[in-house]
Structure 1
Amino acid sequence: MTDDRTAGQPDLAGWWQTAISHIEPGTIEFRGHRIQELLAERGFVEVIWLMVRGGLPTPQQARLLEAALVASVDHGPQAPSIATARMAATCGVGLNNAIASGVNLLGDVHGGAGQQCVELLHEIVAEHDTADGTSMVAAAGKVVARWRARGDRYLPGYGHRFHPVDPRRAPILALLDEARRAGAIDGRYVDAGLAVEEVLNQGRSRPVPINVDGVTAMIYAELGFVPELARGLFVLGRTVGILSHAWEQAQQGGRIKGPMPPSILPRYTGPAAPAAPTAGAA
């Protein structure tokens, strides 16, 4: 029997089209892989790769992606995304709202450096490939000069306001070197990132080392993730820290906890109020 409400209408099953998931009664498949098989054989990082990229990563690819995600998990309450989630948790909004509040602070300045650094590395490799005989350091010097000429004071992925040398730098570079020796990555984006570090440190007594955004950008670029996905994956990793801090704050209690203790008031810089009239004044 024909349903008169849909007579003459296009196939409504095609309203949403996706190559990611196939869901129907009794069936759950992600990009052609049955959920039963994924649960039995694959880890979370492998499924992240499958969902975002299609296909499954090699063990070394999965290890590099996992390292990038772990490196991004948390940087303490001094990070605005974490602090905001903790403050939200004291306002009675619920855990999901606290998480969303923290995630919504991850923008171009806080959370966007990884994407920007992938863009930087792509530009350097392109400069190197199109300029015959140009070294990677020379290509990096040209690109850095262009970025600075347009007003970029800070290069994304280099230096850190808190760490003289980011403690995540060395272990990730070691993983990248291992993957390169094994033939799992090409290594050109690693060379580009280290070339920028060399350019920035020329003539400096105080070095400007690559930071976590830079080394994870090397991973994302070597693995073939586009810059926008580098930011999305950073957000995915940082959400773990946001969840942890929001939950911890909820267990600690407190109400309407602001960015500073109540005993410390913001410095007022506006106009002075007029003097109050003295008692008995006409």
Structure 2
Amino acid sequence: MTDRNDVADWWRTAIIDMEPGRIHLRGHPVQELIGTTGFAQMIWLMVMGERIDGPRAALFEAALVAAVDHGPQAPSIAAARMAATCGVGLQSAMATGLNMLGNVHGGAGEQAGALYQQALTAGPDTLGQTLDQWRSEHGRFLPGFGHRFHKPVDPRAPRLLALVDEAAQSGAVGGRFAMIARAIEAHLALERGKPVPMNIDGATAVIYAELGCPPPLARGFFGLSRSVGLLAHAWEQTEQGGRNKGPTPPGYRWTYDADK
């Protein structure tokens, strides 16, 4: 007779245990979590497998709040709005936008987190060499610094860093990643002869790193955060109506390269 474990072990998980009339999430009965656990705290419990509260929970929630939306010019938001005019439901419109989040749009938080880790491991005395090595491997742009739209300052970053400082003063986080991120910011300013301020990706990467998250989770948490904006814009576009809206009004045409 076949051992039932060969089926039960096909999907192994420490996230949920369930049988008729009982649901335990990370070891907690769901009914005890409902009404007592905030949504950001629930996200942390599900992903990280542990509780988060106090200043650490507030810091995590602040990072999620900061990245919810960046307007219809953001590719993910634009894609969700266009999809909403094509006859699909809200979930499909959201998924369309979410699938636009890649290495260039949406991946900078993960990359910044990896850069911070590398810089901390190498030490502050070799920061210049670390940044040069990063650029030789990944290109001239350093993730998490500068912004093509928000000049001179991304308004979200200073507020997030101030919250990290408050949490560090209370002992909730160590502050090492905030220190190395600021050191990179200062190095870039000297290198280029003008400020290159931290942006939302760099600031949220600091928070996730301070909370002990591996860099890939910065991208995952960004996707969760941006899903709020995707839902808001998809629903707004649904209410506004429109059919098969493309990226530009119909009166505008593309450039046809006839000689190619």
State the 1:96 CA deviation. 1.4
* CA–CA separation in structure 2 for the residues paired with 1:40 and 1:104: 32
Tell me the TM-score normalised to structure 2 length. Answer: 0.95
1:79 is displaced (CA, Å) by: 0.2
Q: What's the counterpart of residue 8 of structure 1?
A: 2
Q: Following TM superposition, by how much is the alpha carbon of 1:55 offset from its aligned partner in structure 2, in angstroms? A: 1.4
3-state DSSP of counterpart to 1:93: coil
RMSD in angstroms over aligned alpha carbons? Answer: 1.4
Match of 2:53 among 43, 58, 62: 58
Q: Which amino acid aligns with 1:30?
A: L
Partner of 1:279: none
The residue identity in structure 2 corresponding to 1:147 is W
Alignment of 1:227-246 (within 5 A): 227-246=215-234
Residues 29 and 264 of structure 1, relative CA distance in 2, 3 Å threshold:
same
Partner of 1:268: 256
Aligned to 1:169: 157
Could you tell me which amino acid in structure 2 is paired with residue 238 of structure 1? R
The question of 1:23 aligning with 2:11 is answered no
More helix by share: 2
Same amino acid, percent of matched pairs: 53
For 2:138 and 2:209, locate their aligned partners in 1 and report how far apart those are by CA, in whole Å.
Answer: 24
- Structure 1 residue 203: deviation in Å? 5.0
> After superposition, what is the alpha-carbon deviation per residue over 1:38-88, rounded to whole angstroms, capped at 9, x for unaligned?
113211111111111111013111111111111110000000000000000
What amino acid sits opposite 1:83 in the alignment? Answer: A
Q: Which residue identity is paired with 2:37?
A: R
Shift of 1:212: 0.4
* In 1, Cα distance between equivalents of 2:164 and 2:76: 28
User: In the aligned structure 2, how far is the partner of 1:36 from the partner of 1:203?
Assistant: 55
> Could you report, residue by residue, the CA deviation over 1:84-108 in whole angstroms, capped at 9, with x for unpaired residues?
0000010112211111100000000
Q: Deviations over 1:187-227 (max 9, x none)?
A: 11111100100110005443110000001000011101001
- Between Structure 1 and Structure 2, how many residues are aligned? 258
Does residue 46 in structure 1 map to residue 41 in structure 2? Answer: yes
Give me the TM-score of the superposition, normalised by structure 1.
0.88
Report the CA distance between 1:123 and its aligned residue: 0.3
Cα offsets for 1:1-54 (capped at 9, x unmatched): xxxxxx434333333221101111111111111111111321111111111111
Unaligned runs of 5+ in 1: 1-6, 129-135, 273-282
Match of 2:143 in 1: 156
| Equivalent-residue separation in structure 2 for 1:140 and 1:125 (angstroms) | 9
1:1-282 to structure 2, matched below 5 A, reads: 7-11=1-5, 12-128=7-123, 136=124, 138-150=125-137, 152-164=139-151, 165-271=153-259
- Of structures 1 and 2, the larger Rg is shown by 1
AA partner of residue 240 (structure 1):
V
**C-alpha distance in 1, partners of 2:250/2:27?**
55
1:240 & 1:98 partners in 2: Cα distance? 12
